[in-house]
A = this chain, B = another copy of it.
Amino acid sequence: MNDSTLQSIAPDLVPANYLSVANNARTNRDKQIRILLEKKLPGHGWDNATIEYFVNELALMDSNNFLNRCGVGEREGRVVCELVQRRHYNFAHGIGRSGNLTDAQPKAAGSTILNNLTNALILDLIREAGIGSCRKALLVPMATGMAVMLTLLALKAERPQSRYVLWSRIDQQSCFKSIQSSGLIPVVIDTVPVEERDDTVLGTDLGAFRDKITELGASNVCCVLSTTSCFAPRTCDNIIELAKLCQESDIPHVVNNAYGLQSTYLTHQLEQANKHGRVDAFIQSTDKNLLVPVGGAIVAAFDREIVEHVSKLYPGRASSSQSLDVLMTLLSLGKTGYKNLVVERKELHQNLLKRMIAIAEKFGESVISGRNPISIALTLKSFGSDQQMIGSMLHRRGVSGCRVVTGTEEKSIAGVKFKAWGSHRDLETVPYLTASAALGMSRKEIDGFIDKLDQVLDERRVKAQ
């Protein structure tokens, strides 16, 4: 309602003094919105009513919601199913224009604000999360793998000669596929054992990177692709040293920070890597870091240009559904809410680690964790060839996300063969399972998991004897 409409409400509908109190409350609410429009993440989360009020106001600024709309184009944001319209809060125009993913849309002022504001809040969040030097963030409505691919295509366009992506091996398909889909040639650098906190974990083979660059020629390398967050016993790549190497060699460096925003340890690595070397872009998923449905990723950088290049590369419009999810989530959490989630996760990780160590001691196994801040591995040496059975027993008991690695599987992806798939290097390894304490986990889930793990191992142990 316009101010004057509100003030014109007749006294036989409501007495003036009651209206005045309501108007004060309205002004109060607007103060929050003003702060937000200065592109600052709210300190404290908003209530649902205020979030929806703001989102609705934005939607009404789009032409598909104008009362006397008169559309003679081929794309007018018409939505025929009332349920669909409702769940999108009457947004229909998506984001961007054919020229650029971040271009303002003449038909959709509200969607334009939605998109720009969301990117601004994400930038604020990334800085708060520990990457204070970050300068630009772009939400893309596609999952991490596609976002990595798009970033590679943008780099390739700038280095048209280059053909190779040097990739510190991590056994997760979509990362590897993103290189192949981009038409570039993946060069796999196997991990090597490194010592972290009395554990032998798997990390970056810096020497092999250096050798490979020399071998291929720096100008033929499109970029180095490293990873932060990963399954133990894989640990965060040594991105600080890789960043130095890339700076020296004048090679772009892309970091797959898939679910790393939730860990202050990993964000610190990124900040330091940029300080001491070269990080062109780092990419993370919105579902894992911001607890929204799967489908979005954030391309972020310490320099505006690369992100703008990505946004210009994107051909055509895109869904604004992910922007809306992220905006509403950030408004509902505020800085405090997000920080609390991060702190809780850290505590739960400590708890999970402690209890997995106890399980390991009981069964004569060991835990491999190192500095991996999220994932923990538990060896299954003494369970014969029963590991997969352990996995499926846990699954049937309702445990999801527990990953069993036998260390002996082979996998071929698009013609490239990986030995010991799952273990991040070609050498055979002891079998193990992994469990993670990821953002949004509850203590109840840890309790349930440990109980069930204990039962299942007990049961298999008896069988094995």
Instruction: Please determine whether B71 and A400 come into contact, CB atoms closer than 8 angstroms.
Output: yes
Nearest residue, chain B, Cβ from A153: B181
* Cα–Cα distance between A88 and B295 once the two chains are bound (Å): 12
CB contacts (< 8 Å) of A290 on chain B: these are: 80
Instruction: Please determine whether A436 and B145 come into contact, CB atoms closer than 8 angstroms.
Output: no
Instruction: Please determine whether A77 and B293 come into contact, CB atoms closer than 8 angstroms.
Output: yes
Given A149-B315, A174-B315, does the pair A25, B94 have CB atoms closer than 8 Å? no
Check A106 for interface membership: any CB of B closer than 8 A.
Answer: yes
Residue-by-residue, is A180-206 near B (CB-CB < 8 Å gives 1, otherwise 0)? 111100000000000000000000000
Closest 3 CB pairs of A and B: A73-B401, A295-B319, A94-B294
Which of A2, A86, A106, A296 has the most chain B CB atoms inside 10 A of its CB? A2
Instruction: Please determine whether A1 and B57 come into contact, CB atoms closer than 8 angstroms.
Output: yes
Which residue of B91, B294, B401 contacts A317 across the interface (Cβ within 8 Å)?
A: B294
Check A456 for interface membership: any CB of B closer than 8 A.
Answer: no
Given A37-B10, A82-B48, A398-B70, does the pair A294, B320 have CB atoms closer than 8 Å? yes
Instruction: Please determine whether A92 and B30 come into contact, CB atoms closer than 8 angstroms.
Output: no
Which residue of B12, B29, B258, B341 contacts A80 across the interface (Cβ within 8 Å)?
A: B341
Instruction: Please determine whether B8 and A34 come into contact, CB atoms closer than 8 angstroms.
Output: yes
Question: Would you give the shortest CB distance from A48 to chain B, in whole angstroms?
Answer: 6
Instruction: Please determine whether A435 and B79 come into contact, CB atoms closer than 8 angstroms.
Output: no
* Cα–Cα distance between A329 and B316 once the two chains are bound (Å): 23
Check A461 for interface membership: any CB of B closer than 8 A.
Answer: no
CB contacts (< 8 Å) of A142 on chain B: these are: 141-142, 146, 318-319
Question: Would you give the shortest CB distance from A61 to chain B, in whole angstroms?
Answer: 4
Which residue of B144, B148, B181, B259 contacts A314 across the interface (Cβ within 8 Å)?
A: B181
Instruction: Please determine whether B92 and A173 come into contact, CB atoms closer than 8 angstroms.
Output: no
Given A68-B398, A69-B400, A438-B74, does the pair A104, B318 have CB atoms closer than 8 Å? no
Instruction: Please determine whether B14 and A436 come into contact, CB atoms closer than 8 angstroms.
Output: no
Check A430 for interface membership: any CB of B closer than 8 A.
Answer: no
Check A5 for interface membership: any CB of B closer than 8 A.
Answer: yes
Residue-by-residue, is A377-417 near B (CB-CB < 8 Å gives 1, otherwise 0)? 00000000000000000011111111100000000000000
Instruction: Please determine whether B293 and A94 come into contact, CB atoms closer than 8 angstroms.
Output: yes
The stretch of A15-23, A123-131, A266-274 in contact with B is A15-23
Question: Would you give the shortest CB distance from A57 to chain B, in whole angstroms?
Answer: 5
Instruction: Please determine whether B109 and A51 come into contact, CB atoms closer than 8 angstroms.
Output: no
CB contacts (< 8 Å) of A78 on chain B: these are: 291, 439-441
Instruction: Please determine whether B448 and A68 come into contact, CB atoms closer than 8 angstroms.
Output: yes
Besides A22-B110, A77-B294, 13 more A-B contacts (Cβ < 8 Å) are: A1-B54, A2-B3, A13-B117, A15-B104, A53-B56, A74-B259, A76-B400, A76-B440, A79-B293, A83-B328, A94-B295, A107-B400, A178-B316
Question: Would you give the shortest CB distance from A255 to chain B, in whole angstroms?
Answer: 17
* Cα–Cα distance between A63 and B440 once the two chains are bound (Å): 15
Check A99 for interface membership: any CB of B closer than 8 A.
Answer: yes
Check A288 for interface membership: any CB of B closer than 8 A.
Answer: yes
Question: Would you give the shortest CB distance from A179 to chain B, in whole angstroms?
Answer: 8
Instruction: Please determine whether A5 and B33 come into contact, CB atoms closer than 8 angstroms.
Output: yes
Instruction: Please determine whether A49 and B65 come into contact, CB atoms closer than 8 angstroms.
Output: yes
Which residue of B3, B52, B437 contacts A56 across the interface (Cβ within 8 Å)?
A: B52
* Cα–Cα distance between A437 and B73 once the two chains are bound (Å): 7
Instruction: Please determine whether A29 and B60 come into contact, CB atoms closer than 8 angstroms.
Output: yes
CB contacts (< 8 Å) of A53 on chain B: these are: 56, 60
Question: Would you give the shortest CB distance from A152 to chain B, in whole angstroms?
Answer: 10
Check A460 for interface membership: any CB of B closer than 8 A.
Answer: no
* Cα–Cα distance between A172 and B97 once the two chains are bound (Å): 11
Question: Would you give the shortest CB distance from A341 to chain B, in whole angstroms?
Answer: 7
Question: Would you give the shortest CB distance from A323 to chain B, in whole angstroms?
Answer: 11
Instruction: Please determine whether A61 and B22 come into contact, CB atoms closer than 8 angstroms.
Output: yes
Which of A10, A317, A333 has the most chain B CB atoms inside 10 A of its CB? A317
Instruction: Please determine whether A60 and B26 come into contact, CB atoms closer than 8 angstroms.
Output: yes
Given A59-B49, A317-B294, A341-B80, does the pair A73, B402 have CB atoms closer than 8 Å? yes
Check A374 for interface membership: any CB of B closer than 8 A.
Answer: yes
Check A445 for interface membership: any CB of B closer than 8 A.
Answer: yes
